[in-house]
């Protein structure tokens, strides 16, 4: 195990008042638990896309709600009725 990683785990174990072994087991169990996963929020998704866009210089457009195209299609379908 890398020395720096071991130091981080030891520090975290001390902060949680548990042994290094217990800290490692806790972290491993958490990594396999689906209930421990943080659900993605709308704002989290938008932030992720904005960060990705900045890092890759790929433009990203976020539309919340229906797009104008979807509204136009709805208007056309109403005219047919």
For 60-69, what is the mean pLDDT?
75
Domain ranges for the chain, please list them. 3-80
pTM: 0.42
> CB of 60 within 8 A of CB of 50?
yes
pLDDT of residue 21: 93
The 10s digit of each residue's pLDDT in 7-54 is 999 999 998 888 999 999 988 888 777 665 667 788 888 888 888 888
> CB within 8 A of 25, min separation 6: which ones?
none
pLDDT of residue 24: 92
Distance CA 30, CA 16 (A): 15
């Amino acid at each position: 195990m890398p020395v720096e990683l071991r130091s981080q785990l030891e520090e975290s174990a001390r902060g949680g008042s548990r042994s290094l072994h217990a800290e490692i087991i806790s972290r491993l169990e958490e990594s396999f638990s689906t209930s421990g996963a943080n659900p993605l929020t709308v704002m989290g998704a938008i932030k992720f896309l904005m960060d990705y866009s900045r890092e890759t210089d790929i433009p990203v457009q976020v539309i919340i709600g229906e797009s104008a195209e979807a509204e136009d299609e709805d208007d056309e379908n109403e005219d047919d009725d």
